[in-house]
Amino acid sequence: MVESKQSTQKKATAAPANFPCGSAAAKKHIRHAFRNSNDARTTITNFQQSNSLHSMFAKAFGTTPVHELPQKKDLEKNQGMPVAEPLDPSPALDFLSHLGVSRHEVHSRVASALRSAIEDEIQRMPIAPLTTTPDGVAKTLPTPGEAGHRALLNLLKSAWQFRDVPELRPVLVTVLKRLGDHTPVPMLRRLGTKQNKTTGLKNAELVSQLGPHLQRLVWEADWDAKLELVTKSDGGQGLSEEELTLTGSTILADLLRESVDKYLTDTELAQSADLAFVGTVSERRFATKLRRMGAKVSEGAGHTREKISTLASIGVTKAQSSTGNEKEKKTNPSTAVAVTTIKESIGKRPKLLGAILDMLISEHATKGGGLDYIKTLSMKKKKEKLQDGTKAGSISILGGSTNLSCPLVADILLTFGQLPRSYEVLDIMARILDAAVQSGFISDNSIAQIQGCLRTIFRPSQAEQSQSIQSSSKDKVEGTKIKLSLKPTKASTSSSMFPDLPVDDSQFERKLLQRVLKKAIASMKEHDPQGLFLNQVTDAIAPGYFSIIDKPICIRAMEEKVMSSTYKSIDEYKDDTLLLFSNCCKYNTGAAGQWFRTEAGRQKKIWKEEIFSEAKSKFKADMAKRKNSLKRKPKPPPPLAFAPGKSDKPTSLATESRAKEAKEDKAINNLTAEDVKPLPPWKYKRRKTEIVVPSMQCLAAMLLADPFVVRVLMDRIQKILKVDVLKTKSVPAGHHALPSIFQLLNIARISTQLCALKGKRCYIPDAGLRNVLTDGEEFNPSYESTRNCLPLFSKLLLDAELDRRMAIGGDLHEAALQDILTKPELQIKEWDGTSTLYDLRAVVEGALVYLLQPGNTNEAALQAQFPRFEAALDELSGGNMLNERPFFVSMAHALLRFKSKLPHSTRDLVTGCMIKWLKKEEIATPKTAICSPLHECFMHLLNEWSSLGNLVLPRDLFLSLGEEAVAASSRGAIGQKCQRFAKLWASDDDCFSAVKEQYTRMLSGTPDTRALQWKETIGIADESAPASPPGDEKQDDP
């Protein structure tokens, strides 16, 4: 009965009649209060307290208003603590129900209000700013915000347990957003915890609400955690380096794997990369901006696409378009979309930039074969494999589409924006190379600037200098490691890192003498149009010459002495020149030698009055100028990219470092063609704790291994050899830029090995000007290529040119018919032992492709020219031409330019050579030959020829060549079934899919009956395709 009375009273209290609402009721109530009161002031005060909105809500909730203070006895009872008011929500809920508000809505609004109040309070919480100590560690200074920081951390610890409660998760998100960069690393790593290696994050819903900045912090923390485990040295607890690759389990790998794969598998980009040799400048140019055009489009699109790509990486959202809209899909290539997605995902975070670049380093090492090369059992076995040619075919400078991770590195660097200071030299190098690729030509200035970048990037730190591996050589060349000091050391004065910078008077005199004599030798060649004194005389040309002449000499031998700095004074050069003319007069006596004596006297007079006098006066004038400059106060040398800057005023380490690097960048841009000098060979090894991620040396080598950069460098080499070397009759190694370009190509070649080592070992290969041997090697490949075998290639070009002139239509054809001139013999033994000269192999391949371009030769001359190049490539490759995709793609591109005018003799030469290379049984297994790029490119070329009509390639010959290719690659006989080929055809093996596609294309254009016959001959079962009725058979074109 009591409970019913109490409930009745509560309901009466909550009734609307007990609340005087409205203007009329309020006026009536105030008039009634004034009638019953004698004190108007007290009446107004009491009315305000009892009828205010606050009092009415307190009355509805059944609580005491705040202005009604508790009695003194209540305070004494609670020992001074405030009285806790009992709260019964039933009256309030009844009151709100009269207003039409449901209880669910009340609960939602109260929770939302409380959550908003908590979030506002969190946002107002002060946080101490982060400061960086001199040792680079971020710390929080003791400020008033430190207490707020601790409070947020405590709240974060308490709220973490409610991360799976949707109503309370926003509070946790607010705390994390407020902490921002102050979020503890353990918490970031906990947010990045994955359920397992193949599934998404455990806290995917929570991470999806954090925003791009905090998400990137989570990616960074996850990457750092994996990096620490990989670099651990306390046995057994670390992870393998595969965790840091695109196939690893890092969140960043999951985020970017799809975009990187989209870039690396872009068909248009891969086709362009495989064209290593093209005929014109317009074809050589490549619009690299098209690969990155999506980056500019996306800048104004906000963070929508960024958010989509980030959420998709952790499995929160379903697959959505990363391009934003359908219009962008149509206008932007997939490479641009991929670069844009990568750029937006990593943002402006340097650590994420380093992480994706390090992943691409691993990708390049894996696809380029560097990882397999490093894992070879021992150096001895590795060298044996290289020398017998079994490994030679797997190493190539022309990476083509295999090296597409290299242009992706360049695109990321060029679209990132303001790079960190440690990347700026790399950025300069990337921009120089990008400009060369866009213009289709690389100048001497660009080469000098690239070398300046490499000197800066590859120079060791002070700790690494003591670990540099000293090289031993037969020439007793000491100190091949890079020197950072401009002063000569006691150990060596001739091994300076900077050969163009004089360290003493003797070095300056030697350089000056070399420069003056090179010009004098060139003038002597110009005044000897018949080449009378150019080459060494042999007994075949002049019988009994060596019995009369004790000291033979020629201009080419003198040029070799100049290049090797054998001449110590200008008088030694004078003596050799006088001996040259004296030998001519001594041998050519009598009436028969009158013309030779006269010609020798003419050239001697010109040399004595013009060439030698000018060289001597120039040498004396420059030496006098040098001596006068030494008498004056020496000026500081200009800032070089490879020389550390000095400051007279004491400055901090950071300021001094920034000033030095600024001078270096400016100096690199000021390098010109006169500064083109090969880098000295150099190696060093880092400790495991000193390895920096990513390795700048690996990235620099990858920029050079870009297939579009290699294409420009190869074209420059071809032009130098054909224009500067052959026409001027000079030594190839004597060209001012040729050794440097070969060195850049060799750095590109070893890029996969450098990337496999991940910066643990770095080295610069020798330019080949001197026979410097390292690591106990018996020969120097660079020296063999540049000094010994490049002249063989020059001879190959001369023989090919002579073949063209002696063929039908040539100016020497009549002389050849009358046996006045004989064709040069095919030299094969000259190329023995050249299977490890990968740079020279690429040069010969390029020369052959240029020779096959329409208009560069004729059908008759090619019959003699092609076998010369074929024989050279057989030796240079060790017989293994299976994996030379860029060469075959470029050759097919050149041959298809003939269209229907292709000579049949040229077609037969090419097809016969390619089938012969497929037949090499000792170089690879049958499956490797069947699935090789050579096989694929051969069938692609036949299909393209067949599409031009029967005039180029008749149908029967097409099928016959296809049958020969199957037999050659399967190591079988023509006309017999090839079980290996048939087994691969039925297995749907991925490595065979490209070859099968070409054969399927061949059979699709063949009449059904003839196609079935071809399949039966090969041994391919085809039960699904019914035979065509006799009356419906397709006929071959006439």
Tokens of 809: 């239509």
Tokens of 272: 């362009």
3-state secondary structure of 567: coil
Among 328-337, 390-399, 521-530, 906-915, the minimum mean pLDDT is found in: 390-399
Exposure on the CB side of residue 58, measured as CA atoms within 13 A: 14
The pLDDT value given to residue 661: 55
Each residue of 905-924: pLDDT tens digit?
999 999 999 999 998 877 78
The pLDDT value given to residue 39: 76
Q: Which of 740, 732, 874 minimizes the C-alpha distance to 790?
A: 732
Q: Which residues contact 583 (CB under 8 A, 6 or more apart)?
A: 549, 551, 552, 553
Tokens of 452: 């300046």
Among 772-781, 810-819, 859-868, the minimum mean pLDDT is found in: 772-781
Whether residue 581 is predicted with pLDDT greater than 50 in this model: the reply is yes
Whether residue 939 is predicted with pLDDT greater than 80 in this model: the reply is yes
Whether residue 774 is predicted with pLDDT greater than 70 in this model: the reply is no
Other CB atoms closer than 10 Å to residue 976's CB: what's the count? 12
Q: What's the rounded mean pLDDT across residues 387-394? A: 39
Among 313-322, 365-374, 588-597, 986-995, the minimum mean pLDDT is found in: 313-322
Amino acid letter, 169:
R
Cβ–Cβ < 8 Å for 380, 777: no
3-state secondary structure of 139: strand
Amino acid letter, 398:
L
The pLDDT value given to residue 878: 87
DSSP state of 925: -
Cα 369–chain centre separation: 15
Reported pTM = 0.72
Whole-angstrom distance, CA of residue 494 vs CA of residue 478:
8
The pLDDT value given to residue 704: 94
Whether residue 600 is predicted with pLDDT greater than 80 in this model: the reply is yes
The pLDDT value given to residue 229: 80
Whether residue 261 is predicted with pLDDT greater than 70 in this model: the reply is yes
More confident residue, 229 or 91: 229
Cβ–Cβ < 8 Å for 218, 247: no
567 φ/ψ angles, rounded to the nearest 5 degrees: -70, 120
Among 53-57, 122-126, 150-154, the minimum mean pLDDT is found in: 53-57
The pLDDT value given to residue 97: 78
Whole-angstrom distance, CA of residue 407 vs CA of residue 488:
40
Q: Taking all residues of the chain, what is their mean pLDDT, rounded to a whole number? A: 77
Each residue of 859-917: pLDDT tens digit?
888 999 999 999 999 999 888 899 899 999 999 999 999 998 999 999 999 999 999 99
DSSP string for 541-565: TSTTHHHH-SS---HHHHHHHHHTT
Tokens of 437: 């690729």
Q: Which of 247-256, 302-311, 772-781 has the highest mean pLDDT?
A: 247-256
Whether residue 215 is predicted with pLDDT greater than 70 in this model: the reply is yes
Cβ–Cβ < 8 Å for 403, 263: no
Amino acid letter, 321:
S
**Residue 61: band (very low, low, confident or very high) from pLDDT cuts 50, 70, 90:** low
Q: What does the radius of gyration of the chain's CA atoms come to, in whole angstroms?
A: 41
Tokens of 945: 């020829």
Q: What's the rounded mean pLDDT across residues 330-352? A: 83
The pLDDT value given to residue 96: 74
**Residue 682: band (very low, low, confident or very high) from pLDDT cuts 50, 70, 90:** confident
Q: Which of 990, 989, 998, 991 minimizes the C-alpha distance to 965?
A: 998
Decide the pairing of beta strands 682-685 and 138-140.
unpaired
Q: What's the rounded mean pLDDT across residues 577-593? A: 89
Q: What's the rounded mean pLDDT across residues 846-868? A: 89
Q: Which of 384-388, 469-473, 1014-1018 has the highest mean pLDDT?
A: 1014-1018
Among 303-307, 365-369, 940-944, 988-992, the minimum mean pLDDT is found in: 303-307
More confident residue, 31 or 145: 31
Whether residue 300 is predicted with pLDDT greater than 70 in this model: the reply is no
Token match 């937006």: residue? 344
Question: Dihedral of the CA atoms 754, 755, 760, 764 (nearest 10)?
Answer: 20
Q: Which of 982, 986, 902, 989 minimizes the C-alpha distance to 941?
A: 902
More confident residue, 906 or 323: 906
Task: Return the percentage of the chain with pLDDT > 90, whole number.
Answer: 23
Q: Based on the number of CB atoms within 10 Å of its own CB, is 161 exposed (0-12), middle (13-18) or buried (19 or more)?
A: exposed
> CA dist 494 to 174, 564, 594, Å?
65, 13, 48
Whether residue 723 is predicted with pLDDT greater than 70 in this model: the reply is yes
Among 1-15, 779-793, 853-867, 932-946, the minimum mean pLDDT is found in: 1-15
Whether residue 23 is predicted with pLDDT greater than 90 in this model: the reply is no
The pLDDT value given to residue 5: 40
Ramachandran bin of 136, using left for φ above 0, alpha for ψ from -120 to 50, beta for the remaining angles? left
Counting every residue written for the chain, the total comes to 1038
More confident residue, 788 or 412: 412
Q: Which of 778, 791, 884 minimizes the C-alpha distance to 831?
A: 791
Task: Return the percentage of the chain with pLDDT > 70, whole number.
Answer: 73
Whether residue 499 is predicted with pLDDT greater than 50 in this model: the reply is no
Whole-angstrom distance, CA of residue 698 vs CA of residue 759:
7
H/E run at residue 597: helix 594-606
More confident residue, 710 or 135: 710
**Residue 845: band (very low, low, confident or very high) from pLDDT cuts 50, 70, 90:** very high
Amino acid letter, 437:
V
**Residue 145: band (very low, low, confident or very high) from pLDDT cuts 50, 70, 90:** low
